Structure 1
Amino acid sequence: MENSLIQQICQNLICSAIQRCRMSENPCRLSILLKISPDSDHQIIQISNTGVGSSLVEFQDLHYKGNRLCGDKWDGTVDITTTSIADEEIYHYKLTLKERVGAKRLTRLSSTPKKGAKLSGTEVSLSTSESIDNLVRGFTCFLKMVIVLKIDKVAVELLVACATSLIPSCETLFLASGDILAPYSMSNIERLISGFEDHVLKHGSNLDKECESCFSSRDYLKVGSGVASSTESLRNTGQVLEAVIIITELPEQPSPSCLITCGTTTK
């Protein structure tokens, strides 16, 4: 299923939240909350993380490539709430991605006093009329790819909340622990290699368990990795790009128990 504009924007927002969690170097929670109401055809998408606040620079890379169809589902605005542990206020902004003038895209709104509360983090939200089923499928598939990273100290959750006049309800659809059963001594690239190996072993259309029929050992996997940096494209922040490539050969005639017989596509 091809990602819609809404899902592409949300994936960028989730990646930014993950980066903030990594920068904090403390246990963090990344939450994606879908709010639905029987009285409205619009859903509210909230993406929040504990940890460090946002520098707002990251939102400059978001671009709106709208058309009439997307215009009916989303107005191109994103609400931002952020604060750092040392701030005395919680700051609110409205980001208008349809605005062509860069200086006018981000509008600062009235802030909220913290009154001595010790908290930090960022929440972004937007409203869309896109189908809740499409949103759930898209987010679930993307979060499964996020788990491949085996990110240290980050817990991820996807929730759907239904607001009714009688009994509000909230259901957890996706939950992943922050330690991912990996030693804290592992580097980011080592975690990525381990997670990617797990992903490759779950080939075919079944990603819930490894295929022991084809791979009795990880020794059959040929793994290559590398790191690159570009101060021009990454705003001279010192960030680097880590990449992992795995090559392997499947049996010409897999056994009937092979998971690849469930489908011909590896996701």
Structure 2
Amino acid sequence: MASVSSPHRKLLHFLVYWAVQRCRVSESPCRLTFSLKRPAESASPSQLRVSVSDTGVRSKLEEFLELNDLARETPVEKWDGTLLITTTGINDEAIYRYRFNLHEELSSARFSRLATTYKNHATFSGTEVCLCLSNEADADDLILWLVGFFHKILVLRAANLACELFVEQIGNAESRNVCLPQDSDDVHHSVMASSSDRLVSGLKDYALSHGYNCDKCDTCILNRDLLKTGTGAANNVDRRKAKGAHVEVVILIARTASDLSCWAVNCSSTQGSQQDRHLVRKALKSALSHLKADHAGDFLSCHGQRVREYVPDLAESIAGLILSSNDKEFHDECVSLLGLGSDQDISEELVQSSICEKMIRIIELNDTKENVEDNAPYLFECEKLDEDSQLDEEDRDEDMIFDF
């Protein structure tokens, strides 16, 4: 089975990441679609055809240059380094098509512009990136990883973003199309939100992007004369009697550039010390740890998911052995280990459910990079991870973020 950090998965991870960012910047309801077409026979010389499309803002071609290092470490027989890019902006009159060959040494030959199609006054935006990957023997593992990866995206409940995953088997009379849609309630959650909820969300995004700094950001606000101010009053309709409390609020609204990533610019108000970066890394690691703990089932590795498939059958067998034993001492000890009281009405379903829950929990706890090679020796006892471990190991932090 391919490594979690295999070039294929890193490449697809980057493409989906940039698609999500384009959708976020658009601040409008968007759709992200991942399409994978595979041949019917695993040994077929045909390649895996991959398409990542979104309806966000127009892509910046410079973002694909970040794949240079990944292209160099990927063998040519795995991926030829070619990307076919189709993109357009909401105000563009045409749809632009490009071909990137990241394996090409000559910079003049790496990039070529293809035929342009005009939109005929239609108004839309979006980007599609197409590529071909080798049809490896572990295509099933790649698909399993993709399903888990998209489940992680759905866990984020990103505002105004609907995600779709299509896996199509071609060249077969019994071809099937599998779709992983997102619930409509999640898609329209932010669209149906009240004005106050949207304002709170916007202020949080602004505070996060500026590092909670009170100084104005020269990148976002170049001219303070462009700021708009106003006054108003709010009444609480739920209370008939006013309490006499008054709150003064100042809200500043200004038009910003289309590139909202001011945190990436050398802005004096966003510069932080080494200690600040350490705290940010620590907070990010803690947040991801809590998120993975709350959604442990969605963050299992491909190996962990395969192991979890055998849990129900194994739990049923163990429960049958326990309840069929005539040794009362053995029976009581097993019940005690499972956390079931001796005065309870012990049924096979209850024992099986308890065993199943504990086994799944153990799999989730030990499905980490540290325990991949050295399996946990105990079923009912787990070592607690050292919470005071050094956070300066940037490689571990980056691996954790990449896995997420």
Q: Partner letter of residue 70 of structure 1?
A: P
Match of 2:164 among 154, 157, 160: 157
Q: Report what 1:141 is aligned to.
A: 148
Per-residue CA deviation, residues 154-188 of structure 1 (Å, 9 max, x unaligned), is: 0111111233375764221x222475386643638
Q: 1:128 to 1:188 in 2, by over 3 A?
A: farther
Q: Does 1:116 align with 2:116?
A: no
Report the counterpart of residue 41 of structure 1 in structure 2. Answer: 46
Q: Whole-Å Cα distance in 2 between the matches of residues 28 and 66 of structure 1?
A: 29
Residue 234 of structure 2 is matched in structure 1 by none
Structure 1 residue 122, shift from structure 2 partner: 0.3
Higher helix share: 2
Indicate which of 170, 183, 186 corresponds to 1:180.
Answer: 186
Q: Distance in 2 between matches of 1:96 and 1:75?
A: 8
Residue aligning to 2:178: 171
**What is the DSSP-based 3-state SS (H/G/I as helix, E as strand, rest coil) of the residue aligned with 2:165?**
strand
More strand, by proportion? 1
Pick closer, same or farther for the CA change 1:254–1:112 going to 2, 3 Å: farther
Structure 2 residue ranges without an equivalent (≥5): 206-261, 271-279, 294-336, 340-353, 369-402
Alignment of 1:42-121 (within 5 A): 42-65=47-70, 70-102=75-107, 104-121=109-126
Partner of 2:395: none
For 2:265 and 2:106, how far apart are their aligned partners in 1? 25
Structure-1 residue corresponding to 2:14 = 12
What is the alpha-carbon root mean square deviation over aligned residues? Answer: 3.6
Equivalent AA in structure 1 for residue 362 of structure 2: T
Quick one: distance in 2 between partners of 1:74 and 1:134? 18
Conserved in 1, the CA contact under 8 Å of 2:19 and 2:56? no
Corresponding position: 1:23 with 2:28: no
Three-state SS of the structure 2 residue aligned to 1:45 is: strand
Deviation at 1:27, TM superposition (A): 0.8
Structure 1 residues 230 and 64: alpha-carbon distance in aligned structure 2, compared to 1, 3 A threshold:
closer
Q: Given the alignment of the two structures, is residue 265 of structure 1 paired with residue 265 of structure 2, yes or no? A: no
What do residues 81-118 of structure 1 show as CA deviations (whole Å, max 9, x unaligned)? 01112222111101111134445432211111223333
Match of 1:207? none
Change (3 A) 1:24 1:178: farther
Structure possessing the higher relative contact order (Cα contacts under 8 Å, 6 or more residues apart): 1
Q: Is the 8 A contact 1:47 1:125 kept in 2?
A: yes
> Are the counterparts in 2 of residues 43 and 129 from structure 1 also a CA contact under 8 Å?
yes
Q: Distance in 1 between matches of 2:97 and 2:338?
A: 56
Q: CA deviation at 1:148?
A: 3.5
Q: Secondary structure at the match of 1:87?
A: coil
TM (norm. structure 2) is 0.47
Q: Secondary structure at the match of 2:80?
A: coil
TM-score, L = length of structure 1 = 0.68
Contact 1:64–1:76 at 8 Å: present in 2 too? no
Contact 2:58 2:125 in 1 (8 A): yes
- Among 231, 256, 266, the residue aligned to 2:265: 231
Q: Deviations over 1:53-83 (max 9, x none)?
A: 2122221222244579732121111110011
Partners of 2:14 and 2:162 in 1: CA distance:
18
CA contact (8 A) 1:43 1:128 kept: yes
Decide whether the 8 Å contact of 1:154 with 1:177 is kept in 2.
Answer: no
